[in-house]
Amino acid sequence: MNRKLLIAAAVSSVLSGCAGMDQATMNQMVQIAGQAYGGSASNALAESEIVAGLREALAQGTTSAITTLGRSNGFWGNPAVRIPLPEQLRKVEQAMRAAGLGGQIDEFQLTLNRAAEKAVPEVADIFGNAVREMSVADARGILGGGQDAATQYFRRTAGDAIQARFVPIVQSATQKVGVTQQYKTLMSSYGPLLQLAGVKDTDLDAYVTGKAVDGLFYSIAAEEARIRRDPRARTTELLRKVFGSQG
């Protein structure tokens, strides 16, 4: 089984917990869906289709983002999510490059992104927990919301858990890919100038974690918008049926 299938299986398995939603909640979701589609509950899709379609869209969006970002060059090769140098180092980047440290700077930035790429696949199950806890009000916001309504729901309900999960993973990843060593090399090679410029040590683990989380939600939002906007992104009959009813 390849990497993408493994991630998809992890996301889908936890999203399946939504099947236990009580009947009253499901009926309310149907009413919400009818309002979102501009009709009554009797004209809305079947309740099972509404719930299953929403689950499928969320699974597709998160699986796509995690698979894309969690591979080699997932962050590094994408300017939209590539992790830059910490702000303190950017202040003296030009001077450091002029002093012949360009190669070390590039290698350091690469290791920051490699650490994020290693961490992303480890948070797939957290999104499933967020879906299981979805309320009727949440469903109303997602079904009738904007292009990133589901992403904002994820950030609101799962953001802290993802951040907490990332920290130890990033700590391990930064050691494996040599982030800390690269940083120490830069600081020792150009320490006097950095001190004169007022550059202080950066908490690299916290920095990479924050940027990785931002990149993950950015990618999920992009995939969500694509599913809502482009019929070609609705890769199953259920997605085409549910989201086709919106427009």
Structural domains counted in the chain:
1
**What would the 3-class secondary structure string for 109-144 be?**
HHHHHHHHHHHHHHHHHHHHHHHHCCCHHHHHHHHC
pLDDT, position 45:
62
Helical axes 149-176 vs 102-119, angle rounded to 10°:
120
Of 12 and 66, the one with more pLDDT: 66
Question: What average pLDDT is seen over the chain?
Answer: 76
Contact 96, 155 (CB under 8 A): no
Which region among 49-58, 193-202, 217-226 has the lowest average model confidence (pLDDT)?
193-202
DSSP string, 36-83: HTTS-GGGSPPHHHHHHHHHHHHHHHHHHHHHHHTSTTTTTT-TTT--
Predicted confidence at residue 231, as pLDDT, reads 84
Query: pLDDT tens digits, residue range 147-194?
Result: 898 889 889 888 999 999 989 988 888 888 777 777 777 766 666 666
Task: Write the CB contacts of 107 (distance below 8 Å, at least 6 apart in sequence).
Answer: 182
Query: Quick check: 25 pLDDT over 60?
Result: no
What integer pLDDT is reported at residue 130 of this predicted model?
79
> Could you identify the residue written with the tokens 């967020």?
130
Which position has the higher pLDDT, 101 or 137?
Answer: 101
The Cα–Cα gap between 239 and 237 comes to: 6
- State which residues form the domain around 193: 3-244
